[in-house]
């Protein structure tokens, strides 16, 4: 929220600079930054009145204007704005003036006509990002007045980022209350006098849902001047808060929103039929909104309606059918208090953002509506004329939000420092919180209606601390009871896995959990994903089902910046629809690109990393638990059909390993030899307890066995059958050679095993070893069709 400093100082004026004021608000828990309204202020630009505007003799789109700029002579200025016409007052940049950006204005000749300066739009003066036509001033502006004086441009903007609990500060009145409390100053609000009721027309109001709308007020105002114009002072205050002037009635309701914090709406009475109702939507109803969007309503939506149907999505946005226009002469002004949950739910359901919703979902003062209606009526009569009708009110405004018991001992205990007893009611009184002594060191505190966030004793303690000053609370060590957390030996911390990967040359990355739906569909086709209701970008519209959706863009970004080699990993959650909710699964994923080793003198030429390099990294990562895992040839839509394996733990699938599919590599332009893995983090963290065993004092014996097998027999199958057949004497098995080529039939390969035999109690004899080797030979022959190579 942006607020004019000058406007705020009309309410409360502490003797400090804008920067000091912002710092004070920051220390009080309201994030605030002060910035100049116009860092590059125009100079030499004055108010000018166009006396005559005639077509340029040499250009259809240009006009030659006679301008009174208060210099004592009539200036001729050529202008191309469509709204240049006789009688209006506009900014005139005279020769020698300077516009934002350093542009200097001088006399010029345009298409054969001399131009003594330039007539300016709001954007040319740095007052708006874009604008159409000349900036028009009020009819009472004096020609020759510098625009910095006429528009009071010597101002600062207070840019506030408020936490959701401080909705009471989303207005000049709320912020002034806070500043007054911080500096112990009185706040001066504008005088709001009840309107004199001089017209009889009224509107019946029926509230069918008192929970969704506990308080509603409204009144009819007749005989408005349809040609009225929003005055410059109001336009400027709205503009500085980021609101565009639209129509005097709409501008007045927006002004009251900023001034008092009460969202309001003005209906054109000519477009209303029957009584105004506040009710829930009916099935099948639709509403065309002011933003030109039509929404389909659901029964949970709270509406303001008439006999013709929905008029407003309560607390969120008004409808186009009942809004005011340039011909409106009679309006129905309304102000209401709506349930924050109902407003927030409807706004999120229909993906609608508005200043009204922003305030209602944080809580609007339920006692503010009548005051806001009188203020809006006052401004309507001042700007548009008209006669006010009687106020129609449904519901009652509460006197207090709640009553809380506060103990002095609790204040000192939570703040950790002594606070004088006499100061507590004084500090709370600055915030409008009335206190009544209950007994020694305790009070009954009555909270004003605008403080939605104060509900328990600790909330009041926080308010005492804020006003007492956090900087006055001494910093000191406090005793704390720390209970050490013990990790089971069967559970490895995730940090251990991360450290292992880093030791093997990987770098950890952290990516967004919401990703590009198109990329995710390519990496995990057919898998349902969780769509975001309000994505921040089209490429971040769904929650990730695989961490590869984040790793691949990271590598692509680096590759486009001439990086040739990468070892990346990420630990994070993947999200899956699960009935009515969402299931999260922690994953560990990695990406390997480029050469197997960094460039060095001992490895020439550079060898590209392959499937087995990454598999070796994973096996090393598993440590003592590697025996529980296996790699099974399989197929994945995102991985190369011949270089892809499913990772199993105790026979259950827990992840994938493989090279990126060539088709995807070409589509995504991520280069060749890109390898990926992804494993459930829970499976990776589960560890085997180490089992101690004796070290044999007797010598081992080795036998080498060369076997001929079919190409489709995997090394894992061969080792598994060999281990099972070797019995207790076989201590280890490893493959030390593999051969394809001449001497073997087509479709066959040769694999050589190294078998180590040993016993803990004695030296094995040749017969025992030969028998064990025979068992191995027979088993691999029977189960795998292997034969001993001659």
Q: What is the pLDDT of residues 550-567, one digit of tens each?
A: 999 999 999 999 898 999
Mean pLDDT of 414-420: 91
Distance of CA 334 to the CA centre of its chain: 32
The domain locations on the chain are: 2-37+156-183, 43-150, 205-394, 402-472, 494-685, 701-788
Q: What is the pLDDT of residue 130?
A: 81
What's the pLDDT tens digit per position in 560-613? Answer: 998 989 999 999 999 999 877 889 999 999 999 998 888 888 777 678 899 999
What is the C-alpha separation between 493 and 490, in angstroms, rounded?
10
Structure tokens at 423: 């100061």
Q: Domain 494-685 sits in which CATH superfamily?
A: Bira Bifunctional Protein; Domain 2 (3.30.930.10)
**Phi, psi for residue 365 in degrees, rounded to 5:** -55, 120
Q: What is the pLDDT of residue 126?
A: 84
Mean pLDDT of 698-712: 92
Q: Does residue 228 register a pLDDT over 80? A: yes
What's the pLDDT tens digit per position in 610-654? Answer: 999 999 999 998 877 777 888 888 999 999 988 999 999 988 999
CATH code given to domain 205-394:
3.50.40.10
What is the C-alpha separation between 259 and 262, in angstroms, rounded?
8
Question: Which of 198, 50, 42 lies closest to 133 in space, CA to CA?
Answer: 50
**Phi, psi for residue 742 in degrees, rounded to 5:** -55, 145
Q: Where are the alpha helices (DSSP H) in 586-643?
A: 611-622
Q: Does residue 492 register a pLDDT over 90? A: no
Radius of gyration in angstroms for the set of CA atoms belonging to the chain, rounded to a whole number: 39
CATH of 2-37+156-183, one of 3.20.20.80, 3.30.70.20, 3.30.56.10, 3.30.479.20: 3.30.56.10
Q: Does residue 693 register a pLDDT over 90? A: no
CATH code given to domain 43-150:
2.40.50.140
Is 701-788 in CATH node 3.40.50.20? no
Q: Is 776 helix (H, G, I), strand (E, B) or coil?
A: helix
CATH of 402-472, one of 1.10.460.10, 3.20.20.60, 3.30.360.10, 3.30.56.10: 3.30.56.10
When pLDDT is cut at 50, 70 and 90, the band that residue 20 belongs to is very high
Same fold for the pair 205-394 and 701-788: no
What is the C-alpha separation between 190 and 84, in angstroms, rounded?
37
Beta carbons of 513 and 573 less than 8 angstroms apart: yes
Beta carbons of 314 and 336 less than 8 angstroms apart: yes
What's the pLDDT tens digit per position in 59-118? Answer: 888 999 999 999 889 999 999 898 999 999 999 999 999 998 888 999 888 888 889 999
When pLDDT is cut at 50, 70 and 90, the band that residue 250 belongs to is very high
Reported residue count of the chain is: 790
Other CB atoms within 10 A of residue 139 CB: 11
Does the bond joining 605 to the residue before it have cis omega, within 30 degrees of 0? yes
Q: Does residue 716 register a pLDDT over 90? A: no
Structure tokens at 788: 């001993």
Query: How high is the mean pLDDT of the chain?
Result: 91
Mean pLDDT of 354-380: 94
């Amino acid at each position: 929220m942006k607020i004019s400093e000058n406007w705020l100082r009309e309410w409360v004026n502490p003797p400090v600079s804008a920067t000091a004021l912002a710092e004070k608000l920051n220390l009080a828990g309201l994030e605030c930054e002060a910035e100049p309204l116009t860092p590059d202020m125009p100079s030499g630009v004055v108010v000018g009145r166009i006396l005559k505007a005639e077509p340029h003799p040499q250009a259809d789109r240009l006009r030659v204007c006679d301008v009174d700029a208060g210099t004592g002579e009539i200036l001729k200025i050529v202008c191309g704005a469509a709204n240049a016409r006789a009688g209006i007052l506009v900014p005139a940049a005279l020769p020698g003036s300077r516009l934002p950006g350093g542009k200097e204005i001088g006399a010029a000749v345009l298409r054969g006509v001399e131009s003594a300066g330039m007539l300016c739009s709001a954007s040319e003066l740095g007052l708006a990002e874009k604008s159409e036509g000349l900036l028009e001033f009020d009819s009472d502006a004096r020609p020759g007045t510098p625009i910095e004086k006429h528009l009071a441009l010597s101002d600062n903007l207070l840019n506030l980022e408020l936490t959701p609990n401080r909705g009471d500060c989303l207005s000049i009145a709320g912020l002034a209350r806070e500043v007054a409390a911080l500096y112990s100053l009185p706040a001066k609000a504008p005088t709001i006098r009840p309107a004199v009721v001089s017209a009889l027309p009224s509107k019946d109001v029926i509230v069918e849902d008192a929970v969704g709308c506990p308080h509603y007020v409204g009144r009819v105002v007749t005989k408005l001047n349809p040609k009225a114009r929003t005055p410059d002072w109001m336009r400027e205050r709205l503009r500085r808060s980021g609101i565009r002037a639209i129509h005097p009635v709409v501008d007045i309701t927006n002004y009251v929103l900023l001034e008092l914090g009460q969202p309001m709406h003005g209906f054109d009475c000519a477009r209303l039929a029957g009584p105004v109702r506040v009710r829930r939507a009916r099935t099948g109803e639709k509403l065309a909104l002011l933003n030109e969007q039509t929404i389909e309503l659901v029964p949970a939506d709270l509406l303001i309606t008439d006999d013709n149907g929905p008029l407003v999505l309560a607390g969120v946005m008004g409808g186009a059918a009942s809004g005011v226009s340039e011909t409106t002469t009679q309006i129905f002004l309304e102000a209401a208090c709506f349930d924050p949950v109902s407003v927030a739910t409807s706004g999120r359901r229909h993906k609608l953002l508005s200043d009204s919703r922003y305030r209602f979902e944080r809580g609007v003062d339920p006692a503010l509506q009548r005051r806001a209606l009188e203020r809006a009526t006052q401004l309507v009569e001042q700007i548009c004329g008209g006669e006010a009708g009687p106020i129609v009110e449904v519901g009652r405004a509460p006197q207090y939000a709640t009553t809380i018991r506060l103990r002095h001992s609790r204040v000192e205990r939570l703040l950790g420092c002594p606070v004088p007893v006499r100061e507590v009611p004084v500090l709370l009184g600055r915030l409008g919180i009335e206190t009544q002594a209950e007994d020694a060191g305790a009070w009954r505190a009555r909270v004003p209606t605008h403080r939605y966030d104060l509900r328990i004793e600790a909330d009041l303690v926080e308010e005492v601390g804020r006003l007492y000053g956090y900087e006055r609370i001494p910093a000191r060590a406090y005793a704390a009871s720390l209970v050490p957390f013990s990790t089971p030996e069967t559970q490895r911390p995730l940090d251990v896995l991360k450290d292992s990967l880093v030791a093997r040359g990987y770098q950890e990355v952290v990516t967004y959990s919401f990703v590009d739906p198109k990329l995710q569909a390519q990496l995990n086709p057919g898998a349902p994903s969780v769509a975001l209701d309000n994505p921040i970008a089209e490429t971040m519209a769904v929650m990730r089902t695989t961490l590869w959706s984040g790793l691949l863009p990271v590598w692509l970004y680096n590759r486009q910046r001439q990086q040739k080699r990468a070892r990346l990993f990420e630990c994070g959650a993947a999200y899956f629809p699960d009935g009515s909710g969402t299931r999260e699964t922690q994953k560990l994923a990695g990406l390997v690109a480029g050469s197997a080793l960094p460039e060095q003198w001992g490895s020439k030429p550079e060898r590209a990393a392959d499937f087995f390099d990454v598999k070796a990294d994973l096996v090393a990562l598993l440590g003592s638990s590697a025996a529980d895992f296996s790699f099974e040839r399989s197929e994945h839509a995102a991985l190369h059909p011949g270089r892809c394996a499913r990772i199993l733990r105790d026979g259950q699938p827990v992840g994938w390993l493989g090279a990126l599919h060539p088709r995807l590599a070409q589509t995504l332009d991520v280069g060749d030899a890109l390898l990926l893995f992804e494993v459930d983090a829970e499976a990776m963290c589960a560890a085997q307890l180490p089992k101690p065993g004796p070290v044999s004092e007797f010598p081992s014996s080795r036998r080498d066995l060369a076997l001929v097998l079919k190409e489709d027999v995997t090394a894992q199958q061969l080792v598994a059958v060999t281990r099972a057949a070797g019995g207790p004497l076989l201590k280890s098995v490893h493959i030390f050679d593999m051969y394809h080529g001449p001497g073997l039939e087509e479709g066959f390969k040769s694999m050589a095993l190294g078998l180590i035999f040993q016993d803990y109690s004695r030296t094995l004899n040749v017969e025992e070893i030969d028998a064990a080797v025979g068992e191995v030979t027979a088993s691999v022959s029977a189960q795998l069709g292997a034969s001993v190579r001659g």
